[in-house]
Structure formats: structure tokens, C-alpha cells
Amino acid sequence: MPQVGTFPVTRDEIAGLPVSELAARYGTPVYVYDAAKIRERVADLQRFDHIRYAQKACSNLAILDLVRREKVLVDAVSAGEVHRALAAGYSLHGNPPPVVYTADIFDRESLELVVQRDIHVNAGSIDMIDQLGTRAPGRSVTLRINPGFGHGHSQKTNTGGEQSKHGIWHAELDECLRQIDRHGMAVSGIHMHIGSGTDLEHLGQVCGALEATVAKIGRTVTSISAGGGLPVPYHARQSYVDLEEYYRLWNATRERLQEELGHKISLEIEPGRYLVAESGFLITEIRAVKRQGGNTFYLLDAGFNNLARPILYGAYHPMSIANATGRPLQSVVVGGPLCESGDIFTQEEGGFVCQRSLPSAGVGDLLILECAGAYGFVMASNYNSKPLAAEVLICDGQAYLARARQTNEDLVRGESIPG
Ligand code: LLP
């Protein structure tokens, strides 16, 4: 199991390449991913029968291709994510299904796609079962069950309990099975995902809830999924989940179910953050240093248009300054370029601005927002008409432009003026 990382406040290189060269070559802001780190994280989870990547965390085709080559399956939450998986070389059919559509609704496009291409569905609502069963009776599906409890790093990432819209409510299981029967369908697996960035205590509780659900459904079940949710440390105070213990809990559950049902049950895990968070770095340039009363602000060329986690969840990201070894530390507030006061990377949930101890720096210095690989680029926007940043993958010491920076033409593509 990986040990808790330390987070140095200066960084000269990423995956062996100088930060200054990456910035000069690709411009800033730029997302840089270290392929070796992703491979390392995939290797950590090899004891599970199948790893299914929750691509919502970072769905660049180069990343999908990388995990596909590591034999990682993929989850898709939209028609767009199915198309990404196909574009990255995944096939749709196999056992287990390489691509699974997991959601709480079908929009019309995704229902059509799932019906036409016979894509495996992990249903999060009874309406989904009814809609799929009406169009394509007789299919096998897996069910995403909301066990009535959940936990996440923020209330906004807790996906269990009655405050959450996710999954089929555990007490609705009988009604759900009636729909399944009505359409001649079968339940081949059960899935529970209680939240993102949770802990072993809560993750462990899922095992019991899942066992009780499978007991009700019975012999058609051949696979179980522990969902995602594995945390990564963003701060020296935080740690990883004990993966040995986590696997032990799930394997014991699987073994009890095998005993009860009398056949093999495959055990799947569905991480997003764990595989990619630590691989990602957002390189930015400091463009202004301001003193406002008691606060010194470093203002960057990246804002919440590039990395939204701090403004959305008060999320903490480690930060470093390139080539700043030996400089004195200074307490600063780090913000972006957007015309909005909330465009601050050093904030706590609720929008409270706080300070960070970083090497003293000036205009032209590069500031790196770290652990930004998960829910970073994918949650970016064009707010303030800022182009989406470039994405670069470093593989075996070579940098590869995995997505070009948007242009100003891209920003107005599809828009027109009447008349
Ligand atoms: N499976 C399902 C059904 C999910 O809904 C999610 C995440 C995952 C797996 C992967 O969870 P992970 O292993 O990454 O924790 N934007 C938030 C996180 C939202 C997570 C949404 N669902 C953040 O930046 O923290």
C-alpha cells in the first residue's frame, strides 16, 4: 500500500521533465499527467477481479487508452462517455462487459445508444428498468442500490442516504424486482457506491448491506461491485485507505455469497480519483502579486474555470512553486483571473478565504496545483470566455500533447447572430 505522501512546496520537475520546459513548450495553464503514477495505482488494486475506471474523473482519450492497456474496464455515465470509451479503443461486449452505462436516468440519446448497441446497464432507478425493458425486454442488468447511508469528503459527494438522488432505494427492491420480472429481465449483479473520498469505516459498512441485497435477489447474481470512493491524501494529515483490509472485507463478502449461491461471484471495484488524482498537475503562471490589507495574493492565469474543486467543495490542493528552493516562505492567498470573488484556490467549504505557506514568488514564477488529475480538467468550463487548458501526458520521459488548448475560434463555435 502506498504511504502518506509529503507535499514539498517547491517542485522543479514532473515525471522527470523540468516544469519550466513544460510551461515553455505548452503554455500555461496546462494539465500534465504522469502515466507511471496511474500505472502504479492500477497495480495497487490488482487483487480485485476487475478494476472499472470511473472515467468521469479524467476522461481524456490518452488516459482511457492508457488504462485500457492495463486491462482496466470502464464506466460511462453518459452517451458521451460511451463514445469516449469507443474512441479510446474499448469494445462494448465481453464478459465482464468492458463498458457499463451507470446512471440514474437515460436521456433519450443514451437510451437509444444502449438499446441499439446492446450496452450493459447498471440501473440507478426503476424508471430506467422500465424504459429499457420496454425497448429491449429480456436483458440482464446490474442494479445500483442506495443502501440508506453514505459518506463523502463533502456533503456534495455523499451518494447514499435519503438526501441523495442516487441508486435504487434499498426499500424499493421488491418493486424493482417486479419491474424486472414484468420485462423478462434478470439481475446479474449488484453495485453500491456510497460516495467519493470516503473512509474505510463507511466503505466497510457497504459489504453487509450488499450481502443482504444479494440474498434477496438470489441465484441470478454473478458479480458484485464495491463502487469507487477510495480517497487519496491531498494533505499531509490525510492518508490512504488500508487496501489490504479493504480487499479482505470484500473478499470475505464475496466468499460468503459464493457459499450461499453455490457459484462463482466476481468482485469489481470502480475507482476514479484513486487512479488519477495524484498523476495530475496544473501548471500555472503567477501574473500579479497584490497586497490587500493583511493578505498577499498570488493571482494566477488559472482559475475555477480550470480547477473547480476549491470553489465547489472547499477542496484543499497541495501547491508548489517551480525552481524556488531556498526562498523564504510567505503566507499567501492564491487566486485566479476570473471576475468573481470566489475565484480563490485557498478556501474552505463555505467560501472562507485562508492562507497558504509558499515560497515567496513574483510575476512570471510558475505555481503548480497538485493532485489535480481527478475531477480537474473534466470539471473545467469556459466561464469568462477562457479557453480550456491543454492536457499533456508524460509517458516514459516523453511528453505528449493529449489535448490542444482551445482557441478563441473554439469559444464561439456553433454560435451565430440572427439575420
Ligand atoms: N462510481 C460511481 C457510480 C460514481 O458516481 C463515482 C463518482 C465513482 C464511481 C468514482 O468515485 P471516486 O472513486 O472517484 O471517488 N467531483 C467530485 C467527485 C464526484 C464523484 C462522482 N461520482 C470531487 O471533485 O471530489
For 147-170, what is each residue's pLDDT tens digit? 998 888 888 888 888 888 999 999
Spacing, Cα 414 to ligand 1 middle (Å): 31
CA distance 6 to 318: 10
Query: What is the SS3 assignment for 268?
Result: strand
Give the per-residue SS3 of 270-336: CCCHHHHHHHEEEEEEEEEEEEECCEEEEEECCCCCCCCHHHHHCCCCCEEECCCCCCCEEEEEEEC
The residue to which cell 473478499 is assigned:
251
Q: Is 104 in the pocket of ligand 1 (CB under 6 A)?
A: no
Give catalytic residue positions: 339
Burial class (CB in 10 A: 0-12, 13-18, 19+), 115: middle
Residues in the chain: 419
Tell me how far the alpha carbon of residue 54 lies from the centroid of ligand 1, in angstroms: 7
- Identity (one letter) of the amino acid at 250? W
Kindly list the distances between the CA atom of residue 229 and the CA atoms of 202, 206, 299, 307, in Å, as whole numbers in the listed order. Answer: 10, 12, 32, 20
Q: What does the alpha-carbon distance between residue 14 and residue 22 come to, in Å, rounded to a whole number?
A: 9
With a 6 Å cutoff on the Cβ, whether 164 touches ligand 1 is: no
Q: Give the residue, by CA position, lying nearest to ligand 1 atom 3.
A: 193
Give yes or no for residue 230 CB within 6 A of ligand 1.
yes
Query: How far apart (Å, rounded) are the C-alpha atoms in residues 139 and 189?
Result: 13
Nearest of 125, 122, 135, 83 to residue 105 by alpha carbon: 125
Whether the CB of 157 sits within 6 Å of ligand 1 = yes
Give the Å distance between the CA of 323 and the centre of ligand 1.
Answer: 34
Q: Can you read off the three cell numbers belonging to residue 404? A: 490542444
Please give the pLDDT value at position 310: 98
Which amino acid is residue 232, in one-letter code?
Answer: V
Q: Along the 419 residues of the chain, how does pLDDT read in single tens digits?
A: 555 557 999 999 999 999 999 999 999 999 999 999 999 999 999 999 999 999 999 999 999 999 999 999 999 999 999 999 999 999 999 999 999 999 999 999 999 999 999 999 999 999 999 999 999 999 999 999 999 988 888 888 888 888 889 999 999 999 999 999 999 999 999 999 888 888 888 888 889 999 999 999 999 999 999 999 999 999 998 999 999 999 999 999 999 999 999 999 999 999 999 999 999 999 999 999 999 999 999 999 999 999 999 999 999 999 999 999 999 999 999 999 999 999 999 999 999 999 999 999 999 999 999 999 999 999 999 999 999 999 999 999 999 999 999 999 999 999 999 99
| Side-chain half-sphere CA neighbours of 78 within 13 A | 6
The HSE-up count of residue 310 (CA atoms within 13 Å, CB side) is 30
Q: How far is the CA of 160 from the centre of ligand 1 (A)?
A: 12
Pocket test for ligand 1, best of 273, 274, 316, 371 (most atoms within 8 A of CB): 273
- Residue keyed to cell 477562457: 386
Let me know the angle formed at the C-alpha of 97 by 1 and 105, rounded to the nearest 5 degrees: 95
Residue 74 C-alpha cell reads as: 470502464
| Angle at alpha carbon of residue 291, lines to 289 and 293, rounded to 5° | 160
Ligand 1 pocket test, candidate residues 53, 196, 202, 311, most atoms within 8 A of CB: 196
